[in-house]
Amino acid sequence: MKYCEKCGISVRGEREHCPLCNAVLHGEAEPGGFPKLPNVRREHRLWLSILALSSVAACIVCLLLNFLFRSRGLWSLFVLGGVACMWMTLGLALYKERNIPKTMVWEVFLIAVLCVLWDYFTGWRGWSINYVLPIVSMGVMVVLVFTCRLFHVAAGSLIVYLMVDALMGVVQLVLLLTGCITVPLPSLLCVGVSAVMLAAMLIFRGKKVSEELSRRFHV
Amino acid sequence: MSHPQFQWARLDTAAKIFPCTSSTKDPKVFRFVCELKEPIVPQALQQALDQTIELFPGFQTILKRGMFWYYLEQTNMRPTAHEECRPPCSVLYDRDVHTLLFDVTYYGCRVNLEVFHAISDGTGSMHFLRVLIFRYLQLVHPKELGSLPELDYDASETQSMDDSFERYANRQKKPKTEAVHRAAHLHGNKRTEGLNVVVGTAPVNDLLAYSHRCGASMTMVLCALIMQAIRSQMSVNETKKPVVLAVPVNLRNHFRSASARNFFSVMDVSYNFSKRNGSMEDILQELERQFQRGLSPEELQYRVNQYIGLIKNPFSRITPLSCKDFAMRLGYYSASQKETSAVSNVGVVHMPAALAPYIRQFAVFVSTEKLQMCSLSYENRITLSFSSAFANTDVQRCFFRSLIKEGIPVEIDTNLCDE
Ligand SMILES: [Zn+2]
């Protein structure tokens, strides 16, 4: 074993210097208990930084141009809003990157909220609740079922994600009944599909559903 | 081997703090190491692991987030023993990907068991490693060890999954304790990646003899030495504040429990170098007083109640988990401001005498955002393991040099790289 004369300590491993005082070690090396590991660094951080810088630059350019041509109105706010929305959806995807079904459910929620906000601030024409909401929530249901086959997601988690998605269907039913929706066909279709999905779950997996809920909601 | 499979379980009382305070900096993971005298055979280790997991249903679980609490769910995932490929005490619990909360790795002659603190504490995990090593050695040396009787771990399955806090909690008022407002802190550059681990090994006899000379228990002597080592690295400004060490108390020694889950509590001991003379005798005298008070029955009962009170509170129960997470993180942060470092003596590992010729030593260390020392002894070898988030090793140097000065030979091993 190697030996440090300054500390009076034996040191394992093949190091040249004492880990405590950095003096030169003497003697025969004896294998130590920790492997030498390569340093791991992430590459895609660089791409993210580039994207971040270019979006900040784009925003600044738009703001300056808007300031130059003030007569056209505050169009640069739309650009800022768009960039903010892009980063929100992207940020969420990166934050939850390792769990695809979970990411999808969250993304759908976020996109739905963002669309409603856009619609609201651009003079409420109803396109968000008429088209976007039903199409997106129907889409996610189909994709969820497929991803779960592909990525072997446990049945319990699938049940919860489908429930969340079905909740969006319920919200649309409320909107339909209160007359907020002006083009009823997409929402009607979506509510129908959600209801069938829920019924199928309760009929085929009723016990699993109730077990899963009791776990998730125990106090 | 069959045991009644549980479907899911609440986190035990003490474990509730771990999922929300776990981070990449301090993932609340600890590692037990068993070093044999011969290189590990991977196939046999895997086979031993498959047998061992059958006895510990609490380990074959994943952690999930409910509406109000985290919970453990039984899983079919099988653990695989693999070669060590990540820095010691890396993250085991990931909010988004459900994986097992422990990991068995090997490197050279060593078997490492890394465990996320939410499923078990040191005592429970030590049981696991003992059974694993026992089975492994039986598989590798069937002729010599095949006929040994089973290990002495006799808790039935319900007992090993027991939340002993619930069992021993009662309504008792808080005893008066001296409040510490802010403890001294170590400063220095933090490491960018992973922990800095320094494992020192010394003969138990020599250390015991030294403790006898001081007239104190070994834990107290170790605490005193660390306090002095920390003192030597403190800035003048910090010296005004007390050095506070957190010392985990294994509640199994004081309440009957065979739980393989968490059943421990933490007691703080402090010493103010600016108000006292800082000699070994004086520190030990002060520690003696604080240990005696900290381990008194009333104080221990209070520790059990302390956790339960929070968890049984109806308002805190129906608060959504994300709010609780935030509150617990806040509480944890303010508590950690009152501590300089932590010292835990896990105790003595007992293995059947027939295994002794094959085992060199055991060791244990934990992830930390500060500096922490864990000790563990087996036969005549005690391992004193420092894990630290700091890049320097000044406290460790002072500590080990003071042992050397007392004539106790020390050998160290570290994951630090040569510059
Ligand atoms: Zn040295």
> pLDDT category, B15, cuts 50, 70, 90?
confident
Report pLDDT digits (tens) over B121-130. 888 888 899 9
Contact B117, B368 (CB under 8 A): no
Greater model confidence, A205 or A13: A13
**Mean per-residue pLDDT for A180-190?**
84
How far is ligand 1, taken at its centre, from the CA of residue A5, in Å?
Answer: 7
Cβ contact B404–A16 (<8 Å): no
Q: Give the SS3 label for residue A24.
A: strand
Report pLDDT digits (tens) over B81-131. 999 988 888 888 887 788 899 999 999 999 999 999 888 888 888 889 999
> pLDDT category, A110, cuts 50, 70, 90?
confident
Place of tokens 């005592």: B123
With a CB cutoff of 8 Å and minimum separation 6, the contacts of A111 are A89, A132, A136
> pLDDT category, A103, cuts 50, 70, 90?
confident
* Cross-chain CB nearest to B415 (options A16, A31, A34): A34
The tokens describing B102, both together, are 């422990």
Candidates B94, B139, B96; CA nearest to B118 is B94
Residue B172's pLDDT is 62
Q: Which of B11-20, B55-64, B234-243 has the lowest mean pLDDT?
A: B11-20
**Mean per-residue pLDDT for B246-266?**
80
Contact B272, B138 (CB under 8 A): no
Say if residue B176's pLDDT is above 80: no
> pLDDT category, B376, cuts 50, 70, 90?
very high
The tokens describing A59, both together, are 């925003």
Query: Residues of A at the B interface (Cβ-Cβ below 8 Å)?
Result: 1, 7-13, 15-17, 19-22, 31-37, 39-40, 96-99, 102, 154, 156, 211, 215-219
Axis crossing angle, helix A133-151 with helix A155-177, rounded to the nearest 10: 170
Residue of A nearest to B319 (CA): A219
Q: How far apart are CA B14 and CA B11, in angstroms?
A: 8
Residue B83's pLDDT is 92
Residue of B nearest to A218 (CA): B68
ipTM of the complex: 0.81
Q: B411: which strand partners?
A: A10, B201
In angstroms, the separation between the Cα of residue A51 and the nearest Cα of chain B is 25
Residue B382's pLDDT is 94
* Cross-chain CB nearest to A12 (options B8, B393, B411): B411
> pLDDT category, B65, cuts 50, 70, 90?
confident
Cβ contact B410–A10 (<8 Å): yes
| Residue B328 amino acid letter | M
The tokens describing B287, both together, are 């520690």
Cβ contact A218–B68 (<8 Å): yes
Q: What integer best gives the mean pLDDT of chain B?
A: 85
Residue B1's pLDDT is 34
Residue B5's pLDDT is 54
Q: What integer best gives the mean pLDDT of chain A?
A: 81
Cβ contact A11–B412 (<8 Å): yes
Cβ contact B69–A218 (<8 Å): yes
Count how many pairs of residues, chain A against chain B, have C-beta atoms within 8 Å: 104
Alpha helices in chain A, H assignment, sequence order = 44-68, 76-95, 100-121, 127, 133-151, 155-177, 184-216
Residue B2's pLDDT is 36
Share of chain B above pLDDT 70, in %: 91
**Mean per-residue pLDDT for B280-289?**
91
Q: How far apart are CA B225 and CA B210, in angstroms?
A: 12
Q: How far apart are CA B398 and CA B303, in angstroms?
A: 33
In eight-state DSSP terms, residue A178 is: T
Q: Which of A139-143, B258-262, B322-326 has the lowest mean pLDDT?
A: B258-262
* Cross-chain CB nearest to A215 (options B66, B85, B97): B66
Can you give the C-alpha Rg of chain B in angstroms?
A: 21
Within 8 A of B419 by CB-CB distance, chain A residues are 17, 22
Contact B326, B21 (CB under 8 A): no
Residue B417's pLDDT is 77
Q: Which of A12-26, A142-156, B251-265, B294-308 has the lowest mean pLDDT?
A: A142-156
Q: Give the SS3 label for residue A157.
A: helix
| Residue B264 amino acid letter | F
Cβ contact B35–A33 (<8 Å): yes
Report pLDDT digits (tens) over A48-96. 888 889 999 988 988 888 888 877 777 788 888 888 888 888 888 777 7
> pLDDT category, B4, cuts 50, 70, 90?
very low
**Mean per-residue pLDDT for A111-139?**
84
Share of chain A above pLDDT 90, in %: 4
Residue A112's pLDDT is 84
> pLDDT category, B3, cuts 50, 70, 90?
very low
Contact B172, B271 (CB under 8 A): no
In angstroms, the separation between the Cα of residue B199 and the nearest Cα of chain A is 10
Report pLDDT digits (tens) over B28-39. 999 999 999 999
